[in-house]
Amino acid sequence: MPELRYNRLNDTWVIISKERAKRPHDYPLKTEDKKKENKENCPFEPGNEHMTPPEVYAIREPESEPNSPNWRVRIIPNKFPALRPDQTFYKTSEAIYDKIGGFGYHEVVIDTPDHEKHINNFDLEDFILMFTAYRDRMKQIYEDKNIYYVQVFKNHGREAGKSLYHSHSQLIAIPRLPKRISTQIKQARKYYIERERCLLCDEVKYELEEGVRIIHDNDFFTVYSPFASALPFEFRVIPKEHSHDFTDISDDMIYSLSEAVKTAVSKLSKLLKNPPFNMMLHTSPPIREIPSDPNYFYQIDKIFHWYFEFFPRMAIHAGFELGTEYFINPTPPEEAAKYLREV
Ligand SMILES: [Zn+2]
Ligand SMILES: [Zn+2]
């Protein structure tokens, strides 16, 4: 029987369609990236640093100069930014319509100097450096008090929105809180007030006891298919101990996170033959003053719990999903987890 499942954190429902249950091989294989630029013209290649805007952050060899080769991770402003830090920050309205100047940051994290390396075949060290760069750069951007949220994400494969062949992630910093995050704060607070516990701490504890949706588990992190997975083979990588802010992550924790993500991504890649997917970080925003609601961030450190979310792009969504924000998932998360666990 089909089943509607409630995602408490996002306050949304999904339809788990067991009738039409799809196994891994029922999904059409996505084609390889055809648009394979050659290395010489690739702006993300070592030696081609002049082809990008000047770097704002890098992890590089001790004696190397900025904007020269010998880097491991390089962060640069996007050449065609969705938002720009040099725009004035103003709020205004046009009759009934509100506007804010196009202020913000849009940056590209070149997470490897290797043209042929992608997240599905990253080494542990590649993950460690990539997560370290995310942490450090987010901290720097949050010093700008007009920034309310930094969204970190990675698009893997063309169908997931990747436009340049060379592996990269992106950071978009915005002067508002995204609805998803404000909903999560609201929902997690409601749960905390009722039970005096963190919603995701409880969820992780329950999932570890149950075991049916667990994919992988190490010292500090667990990987599982959420109960109300909206997408087939979706999974979450989350700290087992309560932690609200990704930018607080220690180097030891980054090591453990990298092990968990590497294991999960290589399982996904083996099972579904390198599918396109999006990776997104969800973390607590920094505390900002909200004059209309001075207690908005009260106890944020107790209620929010950060995690990485992975959305394989196996299914195509259309009118129903856009119209209702209900997703139909033809692979129950228990089955998805079993397949991934057993890879
Ligand atoms: Zn390249
Ligand atoms: Zn927690």
DSSP output for 214-276:
EEEE-SSEEEE--TT-SSTT-EEEEESS----GGG--HHHHHHHHHHHHHHHHHHHHHTTS--
Instruction: For residue 39, give the ligand nearest its CA.
Output: 1
pLDDT of residue 33: 55
The yes-or-no verdict on residue 146 having pLDDT over 60 is yes
Measure 35 CA to ligand 1 centroid, in angstroms: 12
Instruction: For residue 42, give the ligand nearest its CA.
Output: 1
> Which residues, 6 or more positions from 102, have their beta carbon under 8 angstroms from its beta carbon?
83, 84, 87
pLDDT in tens, 20-57: 678 888 887 775 555 567 888 999 999 999 999 999 99
Helices (DSSP H) in the chain: which residue ranges?
124-141, 179-195, 199-210, 251-271, 300-303, 319-324, 333-341
> Which residues, 6 or more positions from 57, have their beta carbon under 8 angstroms from its beta carbon?
73, 74, 75, 133, 136, 137, 140
Measure 71 CA to ligand 1 centroid, in angstroms: 13
The yes-or-no verdict on residue 233 having pLDDT over 80 is yes
Instruction: For residue 184, give the ligand nearest its CA.
Output: 2
The yes-or-no verdict on residue 200 having pLDDT over 80 is yes
pLDDT in tens, 72-113: 999 999 998 889 888 877 888 888 998 888 899 999 999 999
Is 216 a residue of the active site? no
Instruction: Report percent pLDDT > 90 for the chain.
Output: 78
Measure 63 CA to ligand 1 centroid, in angstroms: 23
Choice between 107 and 326, residue whose per-residue pLDDT is larger = 107
Q: Ion ligand 1 — residues with CB under 5 Å?
A: 42, 44-45, 115, 166
Q: What is the DSSP letter of 49?
A: G
pLDDT of residue 207: 98
Which among 277, 343, 333 is positioned nearest to 5, based on CA atoms?
333
pLDDT of residue 315: 78
Q: What is the DSSP letter of 195?
A: H
Measure 167 CA to ligand 1 centroid, in angstroms: 8
pLDDT in tens, 155-181: 999 888 888 899 999 999 999 999 999
Measure 44 CA to ligand 1 centroid, in angstroms: 5
Choice between 29 and 119, residue whose per-residue pLDDT is larger = 119
Measure 302 CA to ligand 2 centroid, in angstroms: 7
CB-facing half-sphere around the CA of 102: CA atoms within 13 A: 6
Instruction: For residue 43, give the ligand nearest its CA.
Output: 1
pLDDT of residue 45: 96
Crossing angle, helix 251-271 and helix 333-341, to 10 degrees? 100
Measure 28 CA to ligand 1 centroid, in angstroms: 28
Out of 118, 168, 282, 305, the active site residue is 168
Measure 197 CA to ligand 2 centroid, in angstroms: 8
Which residue is listed with tokens 């640069």? 76
- In the chain, the amino acid numbered 168 is H
Question: Around Cβ 75, how many Cβ atoms within 10 Å?
Answer: 23
Measured distance CA(214)–CA(204) in Å, rounded: 10
Measured distance CA(303)–CA(244) in Å, rounded: 7
Measured distance CA(60)–CA(5) in Å, rounded: 47
Average pLDDT over residues 308-329: 89
Q: What is the DSSP letter of 298?
A: T
Instruction: For residue 241, give the ligand nearest its CA.
Output: 2
Instruction: Report percent pLDDT > 70 for the chain.
Output: 98
Which among 243, 328, 322, 228 is positioned nearest to 282, based on CA atoms?
243
Domain 3-341 fold: HIT family, subunit A (3.30.428)
